[in-house]
A and B are shown apart, each in its own frame.
Chain A
Amino acid sequence: MSLTATIPARVLVTKIGLDGHDRGSRIIAAYLRDAGMEVIYTNPWQKIEAVVTLALEEDVDVIGISSLATDHLLVPKLMIALAKAGLGHVRVVVGGIVPDQDEADLLAAGVSMVFHPGAVRDDIVSAVEKFAVAATNDRPQD
């Protein structure tokens, strides 16, 4: 099965860890919403377990993690927790201030893409759409 234009992608936009800088995550949430996606937005400082629970309950295709102050270092733990919860198909993207030295680690941990400052709306929207289709295609059939 593949995603059709009539089924909007479901995206969770959140921040894990300790930081509260959220201008970026709010802008991304607005971009995706304006592009017709269904966006679930949370306050910052989410625990990994809370993100997994929300992803399950809301049946999301993509999780967007915004990190401005090193919280992305927790994303590998999130990837493991998602896999354990049977959410291996969910695509995770990270955006914000991610040093080069960390980007490779995130990709190796299964993150689909890292967006850096200066990323533009169209690129972000089309990448998330593409990842949502991939997630839907990989979704376990019940």
Chain B
Amino acid sequence: MNKVDKIASIDASSADWERNYDKMIGQDRVVKNRSGIEIKPLYWPENDTDGTYEEKLGFPGADPMTRGIYPTMHRGRTWSQRQLIGLGRPVDFNERIKSILKSGSSALSIIPCNSVYRGIDCDEVEPEILGTCGTILNTVEDMDISLKDIPLDEISIGLNDPNPFTMLVQMLIVAENRGISWDKITGTSNQSDYISHFVANHMFYRLSLSGSRRVQMDAVEYLAEHVPNWNALSIVGQHMQQAGGTPAQAMGLTLSTAIQFGNDCIERGMDPEKFLERFTFFFDISISFFEEVAKFRAGRRIWNNLVVERFGVSNPRAKRFKFHAQTSGLDLTRQQPLNNIARVTAQAMAGIFGGLQSMHTDGYDEVLSTPTPESAKIAISTQNILKHEAHLCDVVDPLGGSYYVESLTDTMEEEILKVIAQIDEQGGMYKAVEKGFVQEMLGASALEFQDQIDNGEQLIVGVNAYQEEEDASARPVLKRPTAEHMQAQVDRLKEVKAARDPEALAKGLQDLRDAARSEDINVFAAEIDAVRAGATLGEIVKVLREELGFGQPLVVA
């Protein structure tokens, strides 16, 4: 190819991008900075003399999507502000979520009580710790109250709802009762990836590894058919990074997990051109700013190439690396806690420049207690300030083309690919976690990072540098749910349980048990019927634990 051809080739791609951009943006806004300079939505080199621009970066929304998965990215639609909320009773959650939606949040996300994560109903929980970290969701009624006045067909919903996804089941039945058809329901089973729970987020871990795999794949298959706009899979790098993985390791392990899920879907006869459209990812954003930006850009490029190589897809929607990201609580400090607002700001900027689709910013007090309503508001304002005042969304991939960022993106890509190769050698992610290979990798990395802090190689303001006398009065005081409210919740559960039709309930639970024992009855479908018959969270999980095994994480020292 001669030089003239190549210059022509970038012109053709840029014209393609411009056409797609115009189509997607609708009425574009004129953006001028304070000096009156007009800001274009995208900047790219005038020519691509050796072809590397097209190969490595390309235009947003086109292969290899390094610069973003949509032609418009944040210049068009900015990310969803998906704050994690959950406290106490369903009615408390409902009040809080309505106020959060008013303050500019555009999607809702529910965090259940830790007892829900454990899979037990509130009447079996020690009262001291009930409802202190999230909302109690044991029954369809609990979900109905939590979502009172929320238009389920108009808002994207995120459920932090591990396997076997009882919250989703409850919500689907609430929708059914309100006459909303399931194809109108949009959202994501956040962090639903059972592999990450086994390895890293033990909080979410309920069923045995093999049992989780069974139920998860049943849910993916059922939802693809019956709730087509729901993202059943959210593949989680956040847990890997929070458990100690470096950003490169976390990205590599997440992509390996996605390969595992892809292969498992194909084994069930599902079509990758379709199911990959619904894959979503969830990542951590640490304060290592440029490393995080490069991590996201490299991850996007690897995924774009990988789905073609491994799954043979050509549908551009199936190649999109859609991700939600959360600022990392690990970087926050108890010392001088207001400094955490600055940390979250830097983390959020890395996520924005990394091209995320949805974000949660942490409350500055997360390291002190369950975040207060005041700190949650500051966390949302941080996103709004970055968007409107700092103008971070005017240009697509504004760091693209920086010598440093591009070189780092390439090097992160190499590191990530090495991790994927290591997992391939183990026989894939399922086998690698079953053997403890991944756990060992993360454990070693966690200790190494802690050593860097202990020996002062990594300075942390207020912790091992710039220490000051701490003012304890600056720390927020958290209101916990009252004992009376929690007792009322327990009493109500007992009433709801007593009012059920015992025969229908027994049949629902027996059918669920039979489905779990069988090889070919969909467990998730049986679960929906059992919940319709009144089964609670605790009853569902108990049956599945009896049939599929109780989940204990494999901890490797």
Q: Known interface pairs A18-B118, A118-B463. Does A27 touch B478 (Cβ–Cβ under 8 Å)? A: no
Count contacts between A and B, CB distance < 8 Å.
Answer: 102
Alpha-carbon distance A42/B129, docked complex (angstroms): 20
Which of B248-256, B446-454, B496-504, B529-537 lines the interface with chain A?
B446-454
**Any A CB within 8 A of the CB of B202:** yes
Instruction: With A70-B370, A97-B369, A99-B368 as known contacts, state yes or no: A117 contacts B118, CB within 8 Å.
Output: no
Please state if A71 and B202 are interface contacts (CB–CB under 8 Å): no
B454–A71 CB distance below 8 A: no
CA distance A135 to B114 in the complex (A): 33
Interface: A85 (CB within 8 A): no
How big is chain B's contact interface, by range?
35 or more
Measured between alpha carbons, how far is A99 from B133 in the docked complex, in Å?
A: 13
Q: Does B4 contact A (CB under 8 A)?
A: no
Cβ of B450: which chain A residues have Cβ within 8 Å of it? 27, 121
Q: Do the beta carbons of B443 and A70 come within 8 Å of each other?
A: no
Q: Of A18, A74, A116, A117, which is in contact with the most chain B CB atoms at under 10 Å from its CB? A: A18
Residues of A within 8 A of B333 (CB): 117-118
Query: Would you list which residues of chain A between 83 and 104 have a CB under 8 Å from chain B?
Result: 97, 99-101
For residue B1, CB closer than 8 A to chain A, the reply is no
Is B552 within 8 A of A18, CB to CB?
no
What residues on A are CB-neighbors of B335 within 8 Å? 118
Q: How far is the CB of B466 from chain A (nearest CB, A)?
A: 13
CA distance in complex: A101, B369 (Å): 10
Contact between A71 and B446, CB atoms less than 8 A apart = no
Q: Which of A27, A69, A71, A122 has the most CB of B within 10 A?
A: A69
B557 in complex: contacting residue of A23, A30, A77, CB < 8 Å: A30
A8 contacts partner chain B, Cβ-Cβ < 8 Å: no
Question: In the assembled complex, how far is the CB of residue A19 from the closest CB belonging to chain B, in whole angstroms?
Answer: 5
Contact digits for A5-23, partner B, Cβ 8 Å, 1 yes 0 no: 0000000000001111111
State whether A22 and B555 are in contact (beta carbons under 8 Å apart), knowing that A99-B369, A116-B334, A117-B333 are contacts in the complex. yes
> What is the bound-complex CA distance between A37 and B427, given in angstroms?
37
Verify if B96 is at the interface (C-beta below 8 Å from A). no
Which chain A residue lies CB-closest to B127?
Answer: A73
Other-chain residue from B118, B203, B453, B472 in contact with A100 (beta carbon distance below 8 A):
B472
Whether A121 pairs with B118 at a CB distance below 8 angstroms is: no
Whether A26 and B443, one on each chain, are in contact in the complex, defined by CB atoms closer than 8 angstroms, is: yes
Give A61-87 as 1s and 0s: 1 = Cβ < 8 Å from B's Cβ atoms. 000000001110110010000000000
- Which residues of chain B are within 8 angstroms of A18 by Cβ–Cβ distance? 114-115, 117-118, 125, 129
A27 touches B201 (CB 8 A): no
Question: How many Å lie between the Cα of A73 and that of B133 in the bound state?
Answer: 12
**Cβ contact within 8 Å between A101 and B129:** no
B contact residues around A26 at 8 Å (CB): 443, 446, 555, 557
Which residue of chain A has its CB nearest to the CB of B243?
A: A23
Q: How far is the CA of A26 from the CA of B450 in the complex (A)?
A: 12
Point out the residues of chain A lying under 8 angstroms from B447, CB to CB: 27, 30
Q: A74-B128, A99-B369 are in contact. Are A23 and B114 (CB under 8 A)?
A: no
A positions within 8 Å CB-CB of B: 17-23, 26-27, 29-30, 33, 41, 43-45, 69-71, 73-74, 77, 97, 99-101, 116-118, 120-122
Residues of B at the A interface (CB closer than 8 Å) are 114-115, 117-118, 125-126, 128-129, 132-133, 201-205, 242-244, 332-335, 367-370, 443, 446-447, 450, 453-454, 460, 462-464, 472, 475, 477-478, 480, 552-553, 555, 557
Given A26-B557, A44-B553, A73-B129, 13 other A-B residues pairs in contact with their CB atoms under 8 A: A18-B118, A20-B204, A22-B553, A44-B202, A69-B114, A74-B126, A77-B128, A100-B475, A116-B334, A117-B332, A118-B333, A118-B334, A118-B335
What are 12 pairs between A and B in contact, CB < 8 Å? A26-B555, A30-B557, A33-B557, A43-B553, A74-B129, A99-B475, A100-B477, A117-B332, A117-B367, A118-B460, A118-B463, A120-B453
